[in-house]
Structure 1
Amino acid sequence: MSASQGPAQRLLIAGKRLLGSLLAIGETRLRLAVLELEEERARLVGMLLLAGLSLILLLLGLGVLTTLVIVAFWETHRLAAIGVSALVLLGSGGLLALRVMQLARRRTLLAGTLRHLASDHELVETSRESR
C-alpha cells in the first residue's frame, strides 16, 4: 500500500481481501463436500450390488438347508423340524434387522466437511476472543 492512500481506501482494500479469502474458503469446503458425496455414492452403489447378490445367494442356501432338514426328519419329527427351521430363520432375520438399524443410525455422510467446518468455527471464535 502506498502512503497516499487514505484510511477509507485501505479499509476497502482490506474488505475486498477478506471477502476474497472467505470465498476461497467457502469454495474449498464446497469442493470437499462434493468429493465426499461422490465417494459416498460410489460406495453405496457397490454396497447395494454386493448386498443384493449376497441376499439372493443366502435365500437360496436357506431354502435348500430348510428343505434338507425337513426331509431328513420327515418320518419322525416333521412338524418339529418345520417349527425349529421357521424359528431359526425368523430369529436370524430379527437380529439382522436390529443390526441394520444400528448401522443406519451412524452418521458418515459429509463427516470430513463437518469436521473442517467445526475447526473453521473454532478458529474464528479463538481469533475473536483474543482481540
Structure 2
Amino acid sequence: MSITAAVRRIGADVLDLARTRLELAAIELQEGAHRLFGYLGWAIAAALCGLYALGLVILFVLVLFWDTHRLAAVGGMAVLFILATLFAALKLRTGLAQRPPMLPATLAELRKDAAALKGEQDDAIQA
C-alpha cells in the first residue's frame, strides 16, 4: 500500500468518524428541541389558565372586601404576588444551575475517540 493510499484511507476514516458524530449531535439536538417545544406549549397553556384564574381570584377578593377592608385586600394580594414572584425566580435560578450538559452522548463519544487516537483505547473501553 502506498503512502498516498494510506493517507486517503485515514482521511476517509476521519471524515466518516466526524460524520457519525455530527449525525449523533443532530439527533440529540432534534430530540432536545422537540422536548423544549412541548414544554413551552404546556407552559404557555398553564400560564394562560393560571392568569385567568388569578384574575378571577383577585376580583373575587376585592369585591368581597370592598365595603369593609379594601386597602387590606389590595395590600394582601400585592404581598402574595411579590412572594410568588420571588419563589418562581428562585426556582428558575435553581433549575438553570442544575440543568444537565448539552449533547452528553456526543461529548462522551468524542472523548472516547480522542482517547483512542491518543493510544489510550484500553482506558476508554473500561470507562
Q: Provide the TM-score with structure 1 as the length reference.
A: 0.76
Taking a change above 3 Å as real, the CA distance of residues 126 and 99 of structure 1, as seen in their structure-2 partners, is: farther
Instruction: Work out the CA distance in 1 between the residues paired with 2:88 and 2:119.
Output: 46
Q: Which amino acid in the other structure matches residue 114 of structure 1?
A: L
User: Aligned match of 2:13 in 15, 21, 46?
Assistant: 21
Query: Paired residue for 2:40, among 48, 70, 73?
Result: 48
Task: Spell out the pairing of 1:73-84 with structure 2 (5 A cutoff).
Answer: 73-84=65-76
Equivalent in the alignment of 1:89: 81
* Cα RMSD after superposing both structures: 2.4
Q: How does 1:102-113 map to 2 (within 5 A)?
A: 102-105=94-97, 106-113=99-106
* Larger RCO: 1 or 2 (CA < 8 Å, sep 6+): 1
Q: What are the residue-to-residue correspondences of 1:54-69 with 2, within 5 Å?
A: 54-69=46-61
Which structure would you say has the larger Rg?
A: 1
Quote how far apart the aligned CAs of 1:70 are: 2.1
| Amino-acid identity (%) | 32
Q: SS at 2:120's partner residue? A: helix
Is 1:100 the equivalent of 2:89?
no
Separation of aligned partners in 1, 2:87 and 2:40? 20
1:117 matched to 2:110? The reply is yes
Structure 2, unpaired ranges of 5+: 122-127
SS of 1:109's partner is coil
TM superposition score normalised by structure 2: 0.78
Three-state SS of the structure 2 residue aligned to 1:74 is: coil
